[in-house]
Amino acid sequence: MKYFNFLSLILAGFLMVQCATVPVTGRKQLSTVSNDEIIPMSFTQYEQVIKEAKLSDDKEQTAMIKRVGSRIQKAVELYAAEQGFSDALRGFNWEFNLIDNDSTVNAWCMPGGKVAFYTGIMPICKDETGVAVVMGHEVAHAVASHGRERMSQGMMAQLGLGSLQVAMGSNPTGTQELLMQSIGAGTQLGMLKFSRTHESEADKIGLIFMAIAGYNPEAAPKFWERMSAGSGGQAPPEWQSTHPSHETRISDLNAQLPKAREYYNKYKRN
């Protein structure tokens, strides 16, 4: 028993040190992996994904993804400077690509700002403002380091407490797969990929990003209504307990609209 308590104490101490704070919401998150480690790994992984994928040859849609991406990027940088969390963006090197895959209703952003949209999500986005809803949301996952947090949790659960360097050394393929799962790319579940806490956080932060970028935040609940209709209102069974229902998410977004509208009006382009 004594031994167990001693171990718990060490573990608690370890976890306290290995914590980070999410910008905007202030939530404490597990962080056994640093950005200095995970961002270079993301870049390598992203390069691989883009090399193996077929990029869309739709010039208009591709240009739209890049335009929305760069407007959201500027909004994030502006907001980070204003709120004093520019440090969270250190090492970012933004990139936005559209992958030709109509059956994948998904988009993601890796640590470090590497974004991929799949053509399968474009009909649900419907227009540029719809793309901004998804872009704001995915970029918010990256800015809030949700991928890094899940990577840290996954390494604890699957690989023990080892560092990323050790994990890569002993099991590079497994570690790379863990990264893809951690950012929501290694799943067919589309947009239903993070926990309730992460999804709510990304919705809240993403709404602010899109508003500052000059996109009307009122499009966000509308996007999720279309998403809900598209999935027949059903989430896959294993996600029902951990994932926010479309109804909860839409009502939460509506509750956050007044604040987002303030940002939208403040930064509105004339």
Instruction: Given the residues 52, 82, 128, 138, select the one marked as catalytic.
Output: 138
Token pair belonging to 157? 């659960």
Residues whose CB is less than 8 angstroms from the CB of residue 216 and which lie 6 or more positions away in sequence, other chains included? 129, 264
- How many residues line the site for Zn ion (CB under 5 A)? 3
Measured CA to CA, the distance from residue 80 to residue 58 in angstroms comes to 33
Stretch that binds Zn ion, among 112-120, 157-165, 199-207, 259-267 (CB under 5 A): 199-207
Nearer to Zn ion, 75 or 202 (CB): 202
Token pair belonging to 174? 């497994």
Q: Give the nearest distance from C-beta 171 to Zn ion in angstroms.
A: 27
Q: Give the nearest distance from C-beta 170 to Zn ion in angstroms.
A: 30
Measured CA to CA, the distance from residue 78 to residue 196 in angstroms comes to 27
Cα-based distances in Å from 225 to 53, 196, 222, 248: 29, 18, 5, 11
Q: Indicate if 138 belongs to the active site.
A: yes
Query: What is the pattern of x (binds Zn ion, CB under 5 A) and - over residues 177-196?
Result: -----------------x--
Rounded to 5 degrees, φ, ψ at 107 are -155, 150
Measured CA to CA, the distance from residue 145 to residue 18 in angstroms comes to 14
Q: Give the nearest distance from C-beta 203 to Zn ion in angstroms.
A: 8
Nearer to Zn ion, 71 or 243 (CB): 243
Nearer to Zn ion, 71 or 204 (CB): 204
Q: Give the nearest distance from C-beta 199 to Zn ion in angstroms.
A: 5
* Enzyme catalytic residues: 138
Binding site for Zn ion (CB under 5 A): 194, 199, 202
